Chain A
Amino acid sequence: MSSDTPAPEPQSQTLSLPEMEGGGASGLRAVLGGILSSWSARISAAVLLIIVLMSVFAPLVTSHDPIQLDPAIRLQPPSAAHLLGTDSYGRDMFARIVYGSRISLLVGAGTVIVALLFGMIIGVLTGYFRWVDAVLMRVMDGLMAIPGVLLAIALVAISGGTLVTVLVAIAVPEIPRVARMVRGVIMGVRNEPYVEAASVLGTGMWPMVWRHMLPNTVAPLIVQGTYIFAAAIMTESILSFLGAGIPPEIPSWGNMMADGRLYFLLKPELIFFPGVMVSLTVLSVNMLGDVLRDRLDPRMAKRL
């Protein structure tokens, strides 16, 4: 059947050119617009939008202070005054969840930026220069072998739990994976006839990377970025839950769950409310990532 797939060839010398369709650069935009046609993507996008709005306008969403302790109202059930009740220190659960979304989104976005930026630089260098590859990829192999969560726990333990430490600790283990992907794309595209054709035309190294190679990494980077975003939120909650994350006084979903552990059998909702928020956020991002992947880069489906 393969011989039947190419576009039919005009039989005469006169040209019948097809109508102008969205091509090249505008194609990506069309795809990004197009993903909203699937219902799962629409729901995910809506959920994320609500969470983003919630974090931006937190003071407008709730009038309670997420940090102020009030032992007089410890462990109250949900009520009109406290929508989701209060925790073991008498803090308003709803307010903590609303403010907690700020931490999660910040960690997610920060991790994506750090991981993609460094991963892309290392990936391009290793994909283009053989000798850099030999050295840097050994380092990346080593880094990949170290279990990310353990590394993060150790880093946080040594440097003390600040937002920046946590962010770096989560982002560093992601870098080798991004670098490998970019490197793979660059190496694959090196032998493409259009890259060789450009080299025949005397195109130098940087224009070659910029014009002919990097555009191929955009789609997989977007896809991988969404998955990293989700994974970072998850890892932050795990670190904080284990007591090796964000300082406990900062309201984060992970810290809330860590606080709730002692009272788990008594009041499981102290863990479940923030747990549902983490799951919902991560789920939405992952679903959006799946739709993006299907649209942008079907081969990426083999992603680990």
Chain B
Amino acid sequence: MTNQAETDLPVLSVRNVTIDTIPGGAKPIVRDISFDVRAGETVCVVGESGSGKSVTSMAMMGLLPKDALRVTGGQILLDGEDVLSVSEGRMRALRASKVSMVFQEPMTALNPVKTVGEQVDEVLRIHTKDSRAERRRKVLSMMERVHLPDVERIYRSYPHQLSGGQRQRIVIAMALILRPRLLLADEPTTALDVTTQKQILKLIKELQEEEGTAVVFVTHDFGVVSEIADRIVVMNRGDLVETGDCRQILSAPRQDYTRMLVSSVPSMQPRCAPLTDQPKVLEVVGLSKRYGKPGKSEVLAASDITFTVRKGEITGIIGESGSGKSTVARCVMRLTDPTEGAVVLQGQDIAPVRNLRAVRQKVQYIFQDPYRSLNPRRTIAQSLMEGLVNYGMPEREAREKAARTLELVNLPAAVMERYPHQFSGGQRQRIAIARAIVMEPDLLIADEAVSALDVSVQAQVLALFEDIRERTGISVLFITHDLRVAAQICNALVVMQKGCIVEQGATRDVLTNPSHPYTRALIDAAPAPDWDFQNFRPLPLAV
């Protein structure tokens, strides 16, 4: 497609679209949304969970689940043709040829029992009359365009034989092989590591510029938005809050909700100095963890890990998936037994201790997924009191203490008799934090504890961590993949790659003056490193 008359007519025009559940709820889940996307333009639809952003993009593909959701009003014009009123057959013809989609989970978006070559080929098979050889040639050339290596081999590979980034490239190849006018990308990089994310964003941009494709990019991540968006559509609970060009939304949002959302994004600016004069709470010395049999099948999940956490300090362990950061945390907690090394807690090495009960009280753990870390069948009171009662506290006393701790995490004691399913994700994570600190541990391990939360909730929970540290002087080992979050609250950082520590030191030093190329690469890959979201302006000092 070349740019001819498209400049005046938008490729996509969403007009007053309303989407409701079947049967209709009290309030439609998407209400009266309107926006346009022009050829070659990238429009980011930003919102938190429950904003209706994904549902809107599914409606554009005509892929809303038939028995659960339906569009009750408005038009979705694709080059002037209303996709909401075309026939099933016409909609099928439009898919992949005029409008394509890239999904969030590259791990599950491809059929596991067919080769990826077959799956890309299928698009050509149903939409073109090309011969088998012709199709094969086109598929291979498209695979080259998405920068896959060794395309002949990849063609014959099954999805499980490829990495997450490679799979996402296959999905993109599939989406763009027919040169559609519009590409819908639904959180296409959320499940990927930050370095892979950067490559995929670059790839989408590159192909978009070559073909003049219009792109609708659905995301929750303002970092990504600020990198790629021409214009931004902000959604909140089914309403369109505001639209504007990228710079305007980031520097001068008009609506309170947008202001709150943008300012919740942590900046890459280190805020906390290291606490060198405090006593050591945790010393990990030469810790290693190997899986499998020594020799061929051995996997080194963590190797020769040594670091220290001081009283009142928040130490971050940073790394991408597979870096071994969670393995280290689990070894410190003794949820996993370390193969070698010492874990010295308040002067006592707990690595060889067999009776775990004795050490468990001093270290507590907060899990990533607040939906699975609370037993759904037990009340909040039962969950909070369990540890105290295990260690011999009378029930009445434990109940009082649990109630006091709930208030510390900003939840009223009145919620004690409720069950976890009655709370939102952020509230559950507060409960999980309360369950940990009620034990009065010396060390708190937070394993990606804010990763599953929306950005505004994440900001609240991060503030809560700092608040608790202030009040109780607790030490925190904070495991995260997110440099921004680490910059926000950590005093010191440990950077891990492939099971080894590549660099550690004060947060400020590591982020502003990294000594290892991998740390440098991580910082470079983080989207929008130079924007101070909290203050709606560029960072004064380039990091």
CB distance from A16 to the nearest CB of B (A): 9
Q: What are the interface flags for B333-364 relative to A under an 8 Å C-beta threshold, 1 for contact and 0 otherwise?
A: 10100000000000000000000110011011
Name the B residues within 8 Å of A17 (CB-CB). 415, 418, 422-423
Cα(A197)–Cα(B435), bound, Å: 9
- Whether the Cβ atoms of A7 and B50 lie closer than 8 Å is yes
- Whether the Cβ atoms of B425 and A7 lie closer than 8 Å is yes
Known: A3-B54, A9-B456, A194-B375. A200 touches B365 (CB 8 A): yes
B58 at the interface (CB under 8 A from A): yes
B424 at the interface (CB under 8 A from A): yes
- Whether the Cβ atoms of A24 and B365 lie closer than 8 Å is no
Among B361, B372, B439, B457, the one with the most A-chain Cβ atoms within 10 Å of its Cβ is B372
Cα(A2)–Cα(B105), bound, Å: 10
Q: Choose, from A128-136, A201-209, A261-269, the stretch at the interface.
A: A201-209
- Whether the Cβ atoms of A25 and B422 lie closer than 8 Å is no
**Total A-B residue pairs with C-beta atoms closer than 8 Å?**
133
B421 at the interface (CB under 8 A from A): yes
Considering the complex, which residues of chain A in the window 1-24 have a beta carbon less than 8 Å from any beta carbon of chain B? 1-11, 13, 15, 17-18, 20-21, 23-24
Name the A residues within 8 Å of B387 (CB-CB). 200-203
Cα(A10)–Cα(B48), bound, Å: 11
- Whether the Cβ atoms of A1 and B456 lie closer than 8 Å is no
Cα(A211)–Cα(B369), bound, Å: 20
- Whether the Cβ atoms of A9 and B425 lie closer than 8 Å is yes
CB nearest to B29 among chain A residues: A4
Name the A residues within 8 Å of B425 (CB-CB). 6-7, 9
- Whether the Cβ atoms of B360 and A13 lie closer than 8 Å is no
CB distance from B334 to the nearest CB of A (A): 9
B379 at the interface (CB under 8 A from A): yes
CB distance from B7 to the nearest CB of A (A): 33
Known: A192-B372, A193-B373. A201 touches B424 (CB 8 A): no
B374 at the interface (CB under 8 A from A): yes
B291 at the interface (CB under 8 A from A): no
- Whether the Cβ atoms of A4 and B54 lie closer than 8 Å is yes
Name the B residues within 8 Å of A21 (CB-CB). 421-422
Among B58, B371, B386, B425, the one with the most A-chain Cβ atoms within 10 Å of its Cβ is B386
CB distance from B17 to the nearest CB of A (A): 15
Instruction: From the candidates B190, B367, B424, name the one contacting A193 in the complex (CB within 8 A).
Output: B367
Name the A residues within 8 Å of B356 (CB-CB). 202
- Whether the Cβ atoms of B412 and A15 lie closer than 8 Å is yes
Name the A residues within 8 Å of B374 (CB-CB). 194, 197
A199 at the interface (CB under 8 A from B): yes
B390 at the interface (CB under 8 A from A): yes
Cα(A204)–Cα(B391), bound, Å: 11
- Whether the Cβ atoms of B335 and A211 lie closer than 8 Å is no
- Whether the Cβ atoms of B372 and A6 lie closer than 8 Å is no
Cα(A24)–Cα(B439), bound, Å: 25
- Whether the Cβ atoms of A3 and B432 lie closer than 8 Å is no
Cα(A211)–Cα(B424), bound, Å: 23
Instruction: From the candidates A4, A25, A193, name the one contacting B372 in the complex (CB within 8 A).
Output: A193
Instruction: From the candidates A10, A203, A215, name the one contacting B390 in the complex (CB within 8 A).
Output: A203
Among A17, A20, A194, the one with the most B-chain Cβ atoms within 10 Å of its Cβ is A194
- Whether the Cβ atoms of B422 and A18 lie closer than 8 Å is yes
B460 at the interface (CB under 8 A from A): yes
Q: What are the interface flags for B409-442 relative to A under an 8 Å C-beta threshold, 1 for contact and 0 otherwise?
A: 0111001001101111111000010011001000
A64 at the interface (CB under 8 A from B): no
CB distance from B214 to the nearest CB of A (A): 22
Cα(A206)–Cα(B426), bound, Å: 31
Instruction: From the candidates A4, A7, A20, A204, name the one contacting B55 in the complex (CB within 8 A).
Output: A4
CB nearest to A215 among chain B residues: B377
A196 at the interface (CB under 8 A from B): yes
A212 at the interface (CB under 8 A from B): yes
- Whether the Cβ atoms of A202 and B55 lie closer than 8 Å is no
Name the B residues within 8 Å of A46 (CB-CB). none
| Tally of A interface residues using CB under 8 Å | 37
- Whether the Cβ atoms of B421 and A23 lie closer than 8 Å is yes
Cα(A120)–Cα(B410), bound, Å: 42
A198 at the interface (CB under 8 A from B): yes
- Whether the Cβ atoms of A202 and B456 lie closer than 8 Å is no
Instruction: From the candidates B363, B372, B373, B419, name the one contacting A23 in the complex (CB within 8 A).
Output: B419
B507 at the interface (CB under 8 A from A): no
Cα(A237)–Cα(B415), bound, Å: 54
Name the A residues within 8 Å of B58 (CB-CB). 1
- Whether the Cβ atoms of B377 and A25 lie closer than 8 Å is yes
Cα(A90)–Cα(B237), bound, Å: 76
Known: A13-B410, A193-B369, A211-B378. A201 touches B454 (CB 8 A): no
- Whether the Cβ atoms of B386 and A201 lie closer than 8 Å is yes
- Whether the Cβ atoms of A203 and B386 lie closer than 8 Å is yes
B9 at the interface (CB under 8 A from A): no
B220 at the interface (CB under 8 A from A): yes
Cα(A15)–Cα(B424), bound, Å: 10
B376 at the interface (CB under 8 A from A): yes
Known: A3-B220, A24-B419. A9 touches B454 (CB 8 A): yes
CB nearest to A5 among chain B residues: B49
- Whether the Cβ atoms of B360 and A201 lie closer than 8 Å is yes
Known: A194-B372, A202-B390, A203-B386. A4 touches B360 (CB 8 A): no
Instruction: From the candidates B49, B53, B363, B422, name the one contacting A6 in the complex (CB within 8 A).
Output: B49
Q: What are the interface flags for A198-241 relative to B under an 8 Å C-beta threshold, 1 for contact and 0 otherwise?
A: 11111110010001100100000000000000000000000000
Known: A4-B49, A9-B456, A17-B415. A198 touches B386 (CB 8 A): yes
B104 at the interface (CB under 8 A from A): yes
- Whether the Cβ atoms of B53 and A4 lie closer than 8 Å is yes
CB distance from B162 to the nearest CB of A (A): 22
- Whether the Cβ atoms of B187 and A3 lie closer than 8 Å is yes
B316 at the interface (CB under 8 A from A): no
- Whether the Cβ atoms of B360 and A200 lie closer than 8 Å is yes
CB nearest to A212 among chain B residues: B375
Name the A residues within 8 Å of B55 (CB-CB). 1, 4
B86 at the interface (CB under 8 A from A): no
Considering the complex, which residues of chain A in the window 154-212 have a beta carbon less than 8 Å from any beta carbon of chain B? 192-204, 207, 211-212
Cα(A10)–Cα(B428), bound, Å: 12
Known: A21-B421, A24-B419. 11 other contacts (CB 8 A): A1-B54, A3-B49, A10-B424, A10-B427, A23-B422, A194-B376, A200-B335, A200-B360, A200-B436, A201-B364, A202-B360
Q: Which 8 A-B pairs have the closest CB atoms?
A: A201-B387, A23-B419, A193-B373, A8-B50, A193-B367, A202-B390, A194-B375, A202-B360
Interface, chain B (partner A; CB < 8 A): 48-55, 58, 104-105, 187, 190, 220, 237, 257, 260, 333, 335, 356-357, 360-361, 363-365, 367-369, 371-379, 386-387, 390-391, 410-412, 415, 418-419, 421-427, 432, 435-436, 439, 453-454, 456-457, 460
- Enumerate 10 A-B pairs (CB-CB under 8 Å) in ascending A order: A3-B49, A3-B220, A4-B53, A11-B257, A15-B412, A192-B372, A194-B376, A198-B386, A200-B364, A201-B360
